[in-house]
Structure 1
């Protein structure tokens, strides 16, 4: 849904990327700094009820998520390390956002449907971690699992918008329903990836093997 916007933002960040590189800032430093800032915002503003401000600020940093990649390509530093670091820290920031949303419901029990909202947010947290794991694990066994009904950015932005707008009149029930639907979408994506990988592996005679004890 937002992949086109992210592509447009890459061109937008190109001038800033060149400036930061001239100042000696590395793409890794930007990746780490972005994760720290998003995590701090999510774990301080969201639980304390500043959901509109938190949603806006986190959303802005989400749009800047491609800055480190632009810097890496501009400086010729693209490689597996940068991809690994970026993907790993994405899980940290995503987790912080959904923990923050969960804490908002838990610390504000007067919010309508708070229990349901906390459960839905925890489901988004857990299933949102399984979605990228399924893809990474598929690639490690020689398959591909780039399927799903909602990408990472889509899930993050939709959740933040739903929560943030409660502060300007959006009914909490709508937010809870949105989080529930995101959890369902994540579960469907996991199933899609499992089915896709099984078809590929069975097709090359790799199905039905002994599970990896380290998985």
Structure 2
């Protein structure tokens, strides 16, 4: 499921009624999570990695939207669980890696383009780091709800770039990847700075009470 962000909240409201319908039909949220993840991965590896950018964009977008249903479905059925949350986050990381890995494969092995290969790999690295910093911080009890590039925004940027490139729009994917690299790197710094600020504050408070 997409992380907390305005984009995620908007689409979640749209898909809430569908989640309620699926809940009444007995569909389990974890099934939706798995199908959404596998669909995104297959769309990336079978289409984007072979140069079918527009088709890949459409397939991945469909399964990303499907993935939004798992949260709505879990809430409507009361089947929320810690395992479901971990499964969901794991699926997100795998799908993201598949998308940028597929782009890196295309630009590295099929149509050698070193700048685009580097941009794809940087997006992959910084995207994973963005999610890791937040998860690690929250695991230590430090809220980390900051950053200009949540997963929803990152997916919108890369999928729009892939889709328009597939329609023949020049330079749009290059712009999308380098912009995404910049804002993802900045988001990592924002989150590290926030963790440092909160941890330093907690340390001062502990010293004052000791």
Question: d(CA) in 2 for partners of 1:120 and 1:5?
Answer: 24
Q: Check the 8 A contact 1:47/1:107 in 2, yes or no.
A: no
Q: Check the 8 A contact 2:32/2:67 in 1, yes or no.
A: no
Q: Is 1:140 matched up with 2:142?
A: no
Larger deviation, residues 182-191 vs 5-14: 5-14
The partner residue of 2:198 within 197, 200, 203 is 200
**CA spacing shift, 1:53–1:139, aligned 2, 3 Å:** same
Q: Is 1:176 matched up with 2:174?
A: yes
Question: d(CA) in 2 for partners of 1:164 and 1:39?
Answer: 16
Cross-structure match for 1:210: none
Question: d(CA) in 1 for partners of 2:132 and 2:55?
Answer: 31
Q: Check the 8 A contact 1:124/1:179 in 2, yes or no.
A: yes
* TM-score, structure 2 normalization: 0.87
**CA spacing shift, 1:200–1:11, aligned 2, 3 Å:** closer
Question: d(CA) in 2 for partners of 1:205 and 1:8?
Answer: 37
Question: d(CA) in 1 for partners of 2:6 and 2:146?
Answer: 17
Q: CA deviation at 1:166?
A: 1.6
Q: CA RMSD in A?
A: 2.1
Per-residue deviation, residues 73-112 of structure 1 (Å, max 9, x unmatched): 01111232222211111001111111111122124326xx
Cross-structure match for 2:208: none
Q: Is 1:129 matched up with 2:120?
A: no
Cross-structure match for 1:94: 96
Q: Check the 8 A contact 2:134/2:144 in 1, yes or no.
A: yes
For structure 1, the residue ranges without an aligned partner over 5 or more in a row are 207-215
Helix, strand or coil: the match of 1:55?
Answer: helix
Runs of 4+ aligned structure 1 residues displaced above 4 Å come to 2-5
The partner residue of 1:63 within 62, 65, 73 is 65
Q: CA deviation at 1:46?
A: 0.4
Question: d(CA) in 2 for partners of 1:191 and 1:8?
Answer: 26
The partner residue of 1:103 within 83, 88, 105 is 105
Question: d(CA) in 2 for partners of 1:4 and 1:145?
Answer: 16
Higher helix share: 2
Question: d(CA) in 1 for partners of 2:57 and 2:150?
Answer: 18
Question: d(CA) in 2 for partners of 1:124 and 1:6?
Answer: 20
Question: d(CA) in 1 for partners of 2:159 and 2:100?
Answer: 9
For structure 2, the residue ranges without an aligned partner over 5 or more in a row are 205-210
Helix, strand or coil: the match of 1:24?
Answer: coil
Question: d(CA) in 2 for partners of 1:95 and 1:203?
Answer: 35
